[in-house]
């Protein structure tokens, strides 16, 4: 679904999909304004009953599409609150996400993760998932339901971060054996790539008298090591449910990585692990 608001309001993007069966039929529609585009997969008849026999439920059931759309609409103000809080930490916070929700027959989210995210802030991403987890969703019939939805926030009027290529982070990670080992430990047993989006800011320097007399040789040494920048915040899109459980581990392994300086202002970078 695609929505466009002001720079601080939620912008829907991508698609809402309530995935109801492995063999499914897709349909779409729009509702006026705000504009939306939905793709819903309808399941075949979920229950098959034999006379006097057991009731058989397929893995995924059906869910009311319109009720799901309304629930997302009802949650917009809370999602906007997550972004507003995020901008208090990262003033240029913007980007799009695509979220996956598995809803149980009781109407509660059993698990969720970001299949895509270019926000670059884990705390904001956690806030969003928390909003979905706390909500009462339409109760699926005949089994659990899977929902996918995309939305996002455009850049504001502030200066945008410089765009970085992934090699700046990957090169620094290759040089930091401890950090790389930590990343590999987090990824162990997980298939697929984690896509990390991050903001990099200049590393803090000592403003005391010692800074004025810092040796030129030490500064050159630090430059060769690739120091001079640090992560301000990181966000992660996971490849699957198991990978989503490793997101905190990855961010902890990366957050203290020494990076090249982005210059006098922040940079934004996306890279795969």
Residue 88 or 214, more confident: 88
* Residue ranges per structural domain of the chain: 11-45+57-153, 162-208+215-272
Neighbours of 250 (CB within 10 A): 23
Which value, to the nearest 10 degrees, does the dihedral of the CA atoms of residues 92, 269, 15, 123 take?
-60
Distance CA 15, CA 9 (A): 18
- pTM for the whole thing? 0.75
Report the pLDDT averaged over residues 112-119: 98
Report the pLDDT averaged over residues 230-238: 98
Confidence of residue 10 (pLDDT cuts 50, 70, 90): low
Q: Going by C-beta distance under 8 Å and a sequence separation of 6 or more, which residues neighbour residue 184?
A: none
pLDDT in tens, 23-54: 333 334 433 434 333 434 444 444 444 444 43
Residue 226, pLDDT > 90, answer no
Confidence of residue 205 (pLDDT cuts 50, 70, 90): low
Confidence at residue 61, expressed as pLDDT on a 0 to 100 scale: 86
Residue 170 or 41, more confident: 170
Q: What is the DSSP string of the chain?
A: ------TTS-EEEEEEEEE--SS-EEEEE--SSSP--EEEEEPSP-EEE-TTS-EEE-SB-B--HHHHHHHHHHTHHHHHHHHHHHHHH-TT--EEEEEEEEE-TTSSEEEEEEEEE----HHHHHHHHHHHHHS-PPPPBSSBEEEEEEEEE---SSPPPEE--THHHHHHHHH-HHHHHHHHHHHTT--S--EEEEEEEEPP---SHHHHT--HHHHHHHHHTT-EEEEEEEEEE-SSHHHHTTHHHHHHHHTT--EE---SS-EEEEEE-
Confidence at residue 3, expressed as pLDDT on a 0 to 100 scale: 32
Distance CA 151, CA 59 (A): 27
Residue 191 or 217, more confident: 191
Confidence of residue 58 (pLDDT cuts 50, 70, 90): very low
Can you name the residues that pair with 206 across neighbouring β-strands? none
Residue 83, pLDDT > 80, answer yes
Confidence at residue 235, expressed as pLDDT on a 0 to 100 scale: 98
């Amino acid at each position: 679904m695609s929505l466009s608001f002001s720079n601080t309001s939620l912008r829907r993007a991508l698609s809402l999909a309530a995935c109801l069966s492995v063999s499914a039929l897709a349909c779409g529609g729009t509702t006026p304004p705000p504009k939306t585009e939905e793709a819903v997969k309808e399941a075949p008849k979920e229950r098959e009953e034999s006379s006097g026999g057991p009731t058989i439920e397929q893995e995924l059931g059906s869910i009311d599409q319109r009720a799901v759309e309304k629930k997302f609409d009802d949650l917009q103000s809370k999602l906007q609150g997550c972004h507003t809080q995020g901008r208090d930490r990262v003033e240029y916070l913007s980007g799009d996400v695509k979220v996956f929700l598995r809803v149980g027959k009781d109407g509660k989210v059993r698990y969720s993760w970001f299949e895509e995210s270019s926000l670059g802030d884990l705390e904001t991403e956690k806030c969003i998932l928390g909003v979905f987890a706390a909500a009462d969703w339409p109760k699926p019939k005949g089994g659990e339901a899977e929902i996918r939805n995309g939305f996002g926030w455009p850049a504001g009027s502030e200066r945008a971060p410089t765009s970085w290529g992934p090699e700046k982070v990957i090169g620094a990670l290759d040089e930091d054996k401890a950090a790389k080992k930590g990343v590999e430990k987090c990824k162990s047993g997980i298939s697929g790539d984690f896509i990390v989006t991050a903001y990099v800011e200049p590393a803090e320097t000592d403003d005391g008298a010692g800074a004025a007399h810092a040796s030129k040789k030490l500064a050159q040494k630090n430059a060769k090591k690739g120091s001079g920048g640090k992560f301000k915040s990181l966000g992660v899109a996971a490849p699957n449910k198991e990978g989503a459980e490793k997101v905190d581990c990855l961010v902890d392994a990366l957050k203290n990585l020494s990076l090249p300086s982005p210059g006098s202002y922040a940079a934004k970078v996306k890279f795969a692990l």
